[in-house]
Homo-oligomer: A and B are copies of this chain.
Amino acid sequence: MKLVEEHRSFGGRQEVWEHGSSVLNCTMKVGVFLPSKSKSEKCPVLYWLSGLTCTEQNFITKAGAQQWAEKHGIIVVAPDTSPRGEGVANDDAYDMGQGAGFYINATQDPWAKHYQMFDYITEELPNLIEEHFPATSVRGIFGHSMGGHGALICYLKKENFYKSVSAFAPIVAPTQVPWGTKVFTNYLGNNTEDWNEWDSTILLSRSAQKHEILIDQGTSDEFLPQLQPHVLAEEGSKSGHKVTVNMREGYDHSYYFISTFLESHFEYHAQRLKS
């Protein structure tokens, strides 16, 4: 792993690392915030998954996360949203191809060769982090929009791998909304049975364990029809999970919304990662 950016921030260090990914067959960048506490002891890790069009930069420059990560002594890992590079399949649309990995494992050409984001996020990346940084194997995961969907499917498909999950304005029923059906058709093919493996509402309905999920959602979010967090809340009620959806009056889909409620998500994860 190669250090490409380093800044002191709130007493800790915001770094950006570059590394070859054998899962994705390309070079990837990842933001890593190391709280000052990590100098003397191993710390738990909270993974942040960003939304459509984002790179590893959006969250680390706009969310104000470092102050809360430092306060709670948590390492924050913010990867890129897809494989990248000239040889990686792409699309002119903002919601498919590079910047739009959707955190799933693609099975269709030309996507399958690189778009294995689920395996990258849940296997290769945690292995790298736990090998190269003062990290415990206590993990939480959260994200925004496409990355909220990503956090939910990672948490639900790898039960007990993450201790906590939360999301801002997540896509919770991708098999039912335009963003999801478009990329699932392209990445996974036409068999909708295959799509269900990557839909957090369906995964929640099938889980034998009882889960706890925190979601914040702005009421003025222009993408609300693609997100529909109430669908996950209803499934949670029906099947005995604790899904909390905080509707935030007047907030939109931007980092102004995320930064406002980020402190409460850090508190939520910190409680669970330290228990």
Give the B-binding residues of A (Cβ under 8 A): 7-11, 14, 61-62, 64, 66-67, 218, 220, 248-252, 254-257, 259-260
Contacts and interface: CB of A to CB of B under 8 A. Distances in A.
A14 B259 contact: no
Contacts of A14: 256
Secondary structure class of chain A's binding surface, majority of residues:
mixed
Contacts of A62: 61-62
Given A7-B257, A61-B255, 17 more contacts: A7-B251, A8-B220, A8-B250, A8-B251, A8-B257, A8-B260, A9-B256, A9-B257, A9-B259, A9-B260, A10-B259, A10-B260, A14-B256, A62-B62, A64-B259, A67-B259, A67-B260
B252 A7 contact: yes
A195 to B, nearest CB: 33
B8 A259 contact: no
A252 to B, nearest CB: 6
* This protein's copies in its complex: 2
Contacts of A66: 256, 259-260
29 contacts: A7-B251, A7-B252, A7-B254, A7-B256, A7-B257, A8-B218, A8-B248, A8-B249, A8-B250, A8-B251, A8-B252, A8-B256, A8-B257, A8-B260, A9-B256, A9-B259, A9-B260, A10-B259, A10-B260, A61-B61, A61-B255, A64-B64, A64-B67, A64-B259, A66-B256, A66-B259, A66-B260, A67-B259, A67-B260
